[in-house]
Each structure stands twice: as C-alpha cells, then as structure tokens.
Structure 1
Amino acid sequence: MAETEKTPEKKTVNIRMTETFLADVDAAWKELGYNSRSEFVRDTLRDAVKHPDFDRADLKAMLAGEVEIQQGRTHTAEDVREDLTPEE
C-alpha cells in the first residue's frame, strides 16, 4: 500500500449478549478458523449487509433440507420422474 493510502479508521462497537450465546459465538469462530472473535463478527456482519436478501427463512429452509439429506430422506431423479409422469 502506498504511503498516501491509509487504512480506514476502525471504530469500537460494544454489544450485549447472554453468556451462553457468547459461548456459541466463541465456539463458532474457533471452529470456522477465524483468528479472533472480532474478525468473525466483522465478517458475519459484512455478509449480512452485502447479502440482505438471504434471510432467516432461507437459512431455516436450507437447514431443513440438510436434515432430510442426513436422515436419508431423499429421492433419486428416477423416483421424481416416475412421480411426475402422468399415468396412461
């Protein structure tokens, strides 16, 4: 970076959360390989701001789909074709 370019100044933001939620946050950033809680929170907030159309309902739908896959409740392409083919 050239000497004339400066890194944007960072501001400190304080948030309140329960101890159990903080423990979940700490477990998540460590498991996901972030270097710090702050880095994880910044990245998470950046993603929420840049992708506002991805909401909680979308996340719940994906989670429900993942649970079905893990429980083996899936259909093959052939099953779907058979279900959608009109009987003669």
Structure 2
Amino acid sequence: MSEAGTNDVDSDDPETTTINVRVTERQLEEIDAVWKEEGYTSRSEFLRHAIRDATEHPGASRGMLVSIAAEEYAMRKGEHDSVSREDVLEMIDDGE
C-alpha cells in the first residue's frame, strides 16, 4: 500500500533498506492518524522513529508509557503535582 500521497524523502538514501510489514486495517488507520497528527512527513518517517525508540530505549515499557500518560492526564486535570526530572529518572531506574 502506498503512503496516502506522501513523498518519502529518504527513499533514495543508500543507508536505508526497504522492508515489508503486514498490519491489520485498523492498525494502519491508527498509524495514519498518529503520523499525521504528530506532524511526521510520512508513514515511513513515523515508523522509523517508532522502531528507533523501541530499539534504543527498550526499557521504556508499554506499562511505563501508560503510567506517564496517566500522570500527565491527572496533572492537567489538577489532580497531581508535576513530577521533577529526578523523580522521573528514579522511576526509570526502578523500572516503574
């Protein structure tokens, strides 16, 4: 499937390799919504960043990201105080 009218500027980069990935239609719809909403120029750019984050930061588990999102939501609603950088580093070290 094409990238819905986007041009991938890195397609001629000799350091990149093309891979094929099978996803469900629902996953594709979610990917498309996120890359556009987050300001990526293409699906490929978004997926390269997602792969990089997953491989360079494997300690950032899904549970940790859910916890961060929940805390952010609570802070925005005024239910929690902000968390210091030191607190975040401690949470990462503890694997929370």
By the TM > 0.5 criterion, same fold? yes
Unmatched 5+ stretches in structure 2: 1-12, 83-96
Q: What are the Cα deviations for residues 8-58 of structure 1, in whole angstroms up to 9, with x where unaligned?
A: 2x3221112221221111011111111110111011101111111111111
1:26 aligns with 32
Q: TM-score, structure 2 length as denominator?
A: 0.63
1:45 aligns with 51
Say which SS state the counterpart of residue 32 (structure 2) adopts: helix
Residues 62 and 28 of structure 1: CA distance in aligned 2, closer, same or farther (over 3 Å): same
Match of 1:71 among 67, 72, 77: 77
1:80 aligns with none
Unmatched 5+ stretches in structure 1: 1-5, 77-88
Q: TM-score, structure 1 length as denominator?
A: 0.67
Mark the structure with the bigger radius of gyration. Answer: 1
Query: How many correspondences in the alignment?
Result: 70
Greater relative contact order (Cα < 8 A, sep 6+) = 2
